[in-house]
A and B are shown apart, each in its own frame.
Chain A
């Protein structure tokens, strides 16, 4: 039996490796300081010294995308870790046990999901104030319902399977049944859900920073760069082009990787 080449997986892996590597680089090294302003370099076109050019304040765009990408990546990862962990626990318990508690929790999730997320993010940030950690917290909370719903559906599907019944008869503890027996079967769906969640987190961070309620003015993030660059779109398009390109690369890679993972694990 010849396996079809899984192009989504291969391409997704390459793109993800590139964009994550790029973002990781920004954590440790940038050619210039991302905040150093050089008056003579204002609106400098891309060149050997400044591969992505310079912005309206004479800051190196390459350095800024490096740092912005690492900030965006960290925020997106932290957001899906919070959303996924909480969603996993809530969804697993609701799906496996069901009953009245499940109904109540799911209605709460519905209520959160029915609210426009940007609006809800605004409310949370209005209460906590802007800043990187508050953005993570706000988005993390917003991401819990969708993960909980996904996980719940999967656990609901498996709770009455014979192999789960067999485990119960053997006296396996409920916690082990949840996370050692059922969970491994749900990875194909959960992993592709995670990559979609990652994409949404990148976009959500970008749109919140774009709206000016994301990371603080001193911080750099891809969304903030795009937001600042929009006024110079006609005069200095490279200011918006490069951060947008890095954002697309990040999202495209994760999206394709998710599709590839599902194809790869779902074949069994």
Chain B
């Protein structure tokens, strides 16, 4: 079996410092195979964002085994209004990623930025625009382009569609599925919405109070939930549909 792109064993993680320090993740173990999409589901405060930050190296207060076999994993943030620099153009932002990874040639950076824009369903006309001139869906496409342009194979998606309306959600999810196939990407998909997870993920992992309470293939978890909390989550998301 090929080596997993993320391998987490008995991970405990803490948030805050001193007296405020409290444990967020408790004995979490999970793997993400290359090319796979794993949904991390749970309510706010369940530790799913902390788990993502551990994988990205943004949280360092942890114990346990954490192996990430992908250089520079990237993240697509929830809020498309906060994840792009308001003072800079789309083209500048994409090219900045290339500058950071050492692409020295200006012409090449421009060409690759323009190419990446078409890959996410935008055009060269968006190159010179600032985030303020883009819609929420367009911004999220730019965020995705920025996450991919350095060639990262592991992308953490932190509620990437929950700020968008339903039609846009479907479009962005389709785009993510297309890009996954095109670039052999692995996704860690964080969401509180089981319906959205069902559309994109291969497996799902349910977090509750920092612990993995259920983990398995979509059919197993959706059709035969074992844990009470999973049943509640399912009931809640079905009620919304």
Contact = CB atoms under 8 A, between A and B. Distances in A.
Interface of A: 161-163, 165-173, 176, 180-181, 184-185, 187, 268
A166 B87 contact: no
B85 A170 contact: no
Contacts, number: 59
Q: Which 6 A-B pairs have the closest CB atoms?
A: A184-B87, A162-B83, A162-B82, A162-B77, A163-B85, A185-B87
Interface residues of B, number: 24
A170 B86 contact: no
A166 B97 CA distance: 9
B100 interface: yes
Interface of B: 56, 58, 72-75, 77, 79, 82-88, 96-97, 99-101, 132, 143, 146, 150
Interface of chain A, helix or strand or loop or mixed?
Answer: helix
A170 B100 contact: yes
B28 to A, nearest CB: 21
Contact of B58 (A165, A180, A185): A165
B86 A171 contact: no
B1 to A, nearest CB: 29
Given A162-B77, A171-B100, A185-B86, 16 more contacts: A161-B82, A162-B82, A162-B83, A163-B85, A165-B75, A166-B75, A166-B146, A169-B72, A169-B74, A170-B96, A170-B100, A170-B146, A180-B96, A184-B87, A185-B87, A268-B132
B56 A169 contact: yes
Contacts of A169: 56, 58, 72-75
Nearest to B102: A171
A162 B96 contact: no
Contacts of B82: 161-163
A198 B150 CA distance: 44
